[in-house]
Amino acid sequence: MRIEKDSMGEMQVPDEALWGAQTQRAADNFPISDLRFQRQFIRSLGMLKMAAAEVNKDLNGLDKDLADAVASAAKEVSEGSLDEHFVVDIFQTGSGTSTNMNANEVIANRAIQILGGDVGTKNVHPNDHVNRGQSSNDVIPSVMQLAAAEMISNDLIPALNNLKDSFENKSKEFWSIVKTGRTHLQDATPIRLGQEFLGYAGQMHRSVDRLTNAVNELTELPLGGTAVGTGIGSEPEFASKVCSILSEQTGLNVRETTNHFQAQNTLNIVVQSSSAVNTLAVSLLKIANDIRWLGSGPRAGFGELLLPEVQPGSSIMPGKVNPVIAESVCQAAVQVMGNHLTVTLADSQGSNFELNVMMPVAAYNFIQSIALLVAEADNFRLKCIDGIVATEKGPESVEAGLAICTALAPVIGYDNAAAIAKEAAKTGETIREVSRRMTDLTEEELERILDPGKMTETGITEK
- Cβ atoms of 52 and 67 within 8 Å: the answer is no
Asked about 136 being catalytic, the answer comes back as no
* CA atoms of 359 and 357, how far apart (whole Å): 6
| Candidates 283, 314, 328, 435; catalytic one | 314
DSSP states of 9-54:
EEEEE-TT----HHHHHHHHH----S----HHHHHHHHHHHHHHHH
- Burial pattern 415-425, b for ≥16 Cβ within 10 A else e, equals ebbeebbebbe
* CA atoms of 134 and 385, how far apart (whole Å): 47
Closest CA to 177 of 388, 390, 419, 1: 390
Closest CA to 242 of 103, 107, 133, 124: 133
Q: Which long-range contacts (CB under 8 A, 24 or more apart) does 293-300 make?
A: 295/323, 295/326, 295/388
Residues in the chain: 463
Q: Are strands 186-192 and 220-221 parallel, antiparallel or unpaired?
A: unpaired
Q: Which long-range contacts (CB under 8 A, 24 or more apart) does 231-238 make?
A: 231/260, 233/133, 233/135, 234/133, 234/134, 235/59, 235/61, 235/133, 237/55, 237/59, 238/52, 238/55, 238/56, 238/59, 238/133
| Candidates 33, 129, 136, 184; catalytic one | 184
Asked about 314 being catalytic, the answer comes back as yes
Three-state secondary-structure class, residue 377: helix
Cite the active site residues: 184, 314
